[in-house]
Amino acid sequence: MTTPLLRLPAIRRSGAEPLHADGRPVGGTLLDFWQWSASDLVSNATRGRLAEYLVHRAVGSPEQSARDEWDAFDITTPDGIHVEVKSAAYVQSWHQERLSSIVFRTPKTRAWSADTNRQEAEARRQAQGYVFALLHHTDKPSVDPLNVRQWTFYVLPTRVLDVRTRSPGLDHAHVAAGAVRAGNALRGALASDRAGRARRLTWRCSGRSGPCIIGSSGSAWAAMPLNFGVRLPRSR
């Protein structure tokens, strides 16, 4: 009987798993591989995955889950909202003559299912909301993608992109022009922004050792603690 070639689910690993030959360790661990392959956090690919992780934490997705490479969108919030995260940065790993221009690409795509190995006939934006994650820091020697103070997040419902965006590019000026300072957190901005404007959310920290929250100024916060000391305001 032939074993069915079904989808393999992503399994969260600890990093302690060893390289082995049929169970016999041969030196090196999964953590060693991660350190070798993903230590350049400024590189486009790794920075993008870090941005997804920051949004994953901010919206309160299950911490023990694992990123699925083949999903049609990046994150599902606890409220069931599908989110696509796009990242950009002024500073790159390579030698630059000038700071990079900020462009977020938001093309319509034909979703592919890892469960069926089939592609949808219609091209569309797969997520219900977009988070444009900008690593806004411009001093190259001190850039640190792990420092949440160096990030700004712009949130737009997909319906706004579908109506307003004619090209597959959305530059920083376009997003920032629609930014508003409001009391919605990331989840609230994705779910309830009926004005069709981008909401600008940043990490705000209390001193050097105080907690950080993601949100906008002038708001009343009901903080929800996260594991590494960052607090997320609940939308009201």
Residues 218-227 have pLDDT tens digits of 332 222 222 2
Judge whether residue 183 has pLDDT over 70: no
Tokens of 216: 């906008």
**Measured torsion, CA atoms of residues 132, 217, 150, 71, in degrees rounded to the nearest 10:** -30
When pLDDT is cut at 50, 70 and 90, the band that residue 141 belongs to is: very high
How large is the average pLDDT for residues 43-62?
Answer: 90
Higher pLDDT, 202 or 137: 137
The mean predicted confidence, pLDDT, of the chain is: 76
When pLDDT is cut at 50, 70 and 90, the band that residue 99 belongs to is: very high
Separation CA 87–CA 93 (nearest Å)? 15
Other Cβ atoms less than 10 A from the Cβ of 193: the count is 20
Tokens of 181: 């300072």
Higher pLDDT, 178 or 26: 26
Q: Which DSSP helix (H) or strand (E) runs through 203?
A: strand 199-205
Higher pLDDT, 235 or 75: 75
pTM of the model: 0.77
